[in-house]
Structure 1
Amino acid sequence: MNKTDSETYRDKKRFFENLLTVYGRKPVLEALQDPAVGIYRLHLADSNKSADILDDIIAIAQEKGAEIVYHSRAALSRISKNAKQDQGVAADLELRGYKTYEAFIKESPSTSFTLLALDGVNNPQNLGMIIRSACAGNINGILLPQKGSAQIDPLVIKASAGTLFRAPILRCNSLASALKDFQQRGVDICCLSSHASETLKDFHPKSACIYVLGNETEGVSQEVEKLCNQRVRIPMNNGVESLNVAVTAALIAFR
């Protein structure tokens, strides 16, 4: 945001930045059926044929006070960014936990939070299961880069078993830049390494800590690994070298 922008404009920009757009008839309906989910705007293709599920979506959206807008198929595809799977429906959701990492830093009253940072985790099912574990466990936020990682889509929503709509998702453009911002505030950045001397069980950070989870095949990138000032390992038996990234996330969430 520009320093010359009015506060009204800044508030409006922050509001739209914190909306999550989901698409597809079933994902949108499931989201709207969650009492914790607010909806700002419902987008519909004007070519949609009558269907019971559409009637249900519209009824709940109206009940929640959403604006309902009809678009051409081409215009709707620009909103959903997935013309093949949007099924003529998209919704701008208001989720309490969906925000930028800068907003989290500004709003967080605690200095002892625990975050997960996803570095190139590009499998939608893994992302969904990580979100589910983080939401159920003792995790205050998931740092999710806008590029280089799986983005929120129907597969992620399904794998999260709907917990996505209640999970603390912290968006960032660059994971390395976000980690540097946290590091400047005294936050420990920790990655898992089979060569670390300390185990996850015995690691007790004295302040806030971010655990970095790397790509499913290549692990943590060199750029991000250089930022880590802590390293821990998960002891393995029977010659097993590593765990699935979603399983690792679960162990951290419930450690």
Structure 2
Amino acid sequence: MNDSPAYRERRAFFDRLLTVYGRKPVLEVLQNPALQCHALHLADSNREQGIVRDIRELAASRGIDVQLHDRQALSRISRNGRQDQGVAIDVLCPAFQQAGDALTDLPADARLLALDGISNPQNLGMIIRSAAAGNIDGILYARRGNAALGPLVIKASAGTLYRAPLLLCEALPETLRQYRDAGVEVCTLAADARESLFEFRPAGRCVYVLGNETDGVSGAVQKTASRGLSIPMRNGVESLNVAVTASLIAYAGQMEI
């Protein structure tokens, strides 16, 4: 059965919502007039004083819907009951969308990053910041295996997460196979690859896979790749931090050899 246009539009809207939790992160969101907020969620057990009062007042001044929940319900919304401090807010991120929906709209020369098990929130945030600043059209982010998009990621991204082109999926291997079958070249970074990242010129759409900080690219993702690329190293250095690698990829297409 085909989904109705109204349903697809509603689903696309909720795909673009990022739920931020924690009292200070939520206060910072409300203090930023550039961020569009959908709803503020509060635990009904919160005391109406201090930062909670400030959050309520800011939400009221901006006309943001305030919803009260018991602690269990709020923990389902924040997905982090231990650290949400009874507060969460839905922020609209215009460039977020489902990876499958984005595939047909990507430009013919699209350059993408794919995140395969980036577990350190600081690394994830810095990767997002570099991709948003550089020559990257989308970031394939799998909810399974990567660090959650929480306050530490937002801080490390310097707030660029809210406007970064995240392409969301549940698991990366299946999505990469879908992209590969649609003609997108899948490249991994490998120290023993003969072709340099800086010499490679994609013939069309291309996705560069960034692997886990310790284990690198997973076996399942490696099977989807058609090309390996290396970064030239000197002085016995074997590898770079994954966030540094992301920065090099983001600007490689703009660099003169």
TM-score, length-scaled by structure 1: 0.92
**Is residue 179 of structure 1 aligned with residue 149 of structure 2?**
no
**Is residue 162 of structure 1 aligned with residue 159 of structure 2?**
yes
- 2:84 and 2:40 map into 1 onto residues whose CA distance is 13
Q: Where in structure 2 are the equivalents of 1:73-152 lying within 5 Å?
A: 73-108=71-106, 110-152=107-149
**Counterpart pick for 1:58 among 50, 56, 59:** 56
Unaligned runs of 5+ in 1: none
- Decide whether the 8 Å contact of 1:46 with 1:71 is kept in 2: yes
- 2:134 and 2:79 map into 1 onto residues whose CA distance is 32
SS of equivalent to 1:125: helix
Change (3 A) 1:236 1:154: same
**Counterpart pick for 2:244 among 239, 243, 247:** 247
- 1:116 and 1:32 map into 2 onto residues whose CA distance is 30
Stretch moving more, 33-42 or 87-96: 33-42
- 1:80 and 1:138 map into 2 onto residues whose CA distance is 32
What is aligned with 2:5?
7
What is aligned with 2:255?
none
Q: CA deviation at 1:52?
A: 4.4
What is aligned with 1:69?
67
**Counterpart pick for 1:216 among 213, 227, 251:** 213
Q: CA deviation at 1:80?
A: 0.9
Give the count of matched residue pairs.
252
Residue 78 of structure 2 aligns to which amino acid in structure 1? S
What is aligned with 2:24?
26
1:116-150 Cα offsets, whole Å, 9 max, x none, are: 10111111111111111111111111111111111
Q: CA deviation at 1:221?
A: 0.9
Stretch moving more, 221-230 or 10-19: 10-19
Change (3 A) 1:204 1:33: farther
- 2:227 and 2:32 map into 1 onto residues whose CA distance is 38
- 1:39 and 1:164 map into 2 onto residues whose CA distance is 15
What is aligned with 1:233?
230
Q: CA deviation at 1:161?
A: 1.5
Q: CA deviation at 1:33?
A: 3.3
Change (3 A) 1:206 1:35: farther
SS of equivalent to 2:240: coil
Stretch moving more, 98-107 or 129-138: 98-107
Q: CA deviation at 1:63?
A: 4.3
- 2:27 and 2:118 map into 1 onto residues whose CA distance is 27
TM-score, length-scaled by structure 2: 0.91
Change (3 A) 1:137 1:56: farther
Unaligned runs of 5+ in 2: 253-257
- Decide whether the 8 Å contact of 2:186 with 2:207 is kept in 1: yes
1:219-252 Cα offsets, whole Å, 9 max, x none, are: 1011111111121100111111111111100111
SS of equivalent to 2:47: coil
SS of equivalent to 2:214: coil
- Decide whether the 8 Å contact of 1:116 with 1:210 is kept in 2: yes
1:146-166 Cα offsets, whole Å, 9 max, x none, are: 111111111111111111111
Stretch moving more, 48-57 or 150-159: 48-57
Change (3 A) 1:190 1:4: closer
SS of equivalent to 2:127: helix
SS of equivalent to 1:177: helix
- Decide whether the 8 Å contact of 1:47 with 1:73 is kept in 2: yes
- 2:4 and 2:138 map into 1 onto residues whose CA distance is 30
Residue 206 of structure 2 aligns to which amino acid in structure 1? C
**Is residue 37 of structure 1 aligned with residue 35 of structure 2?**
yes
Q: CA deviation at 1:107?
A: 3.6
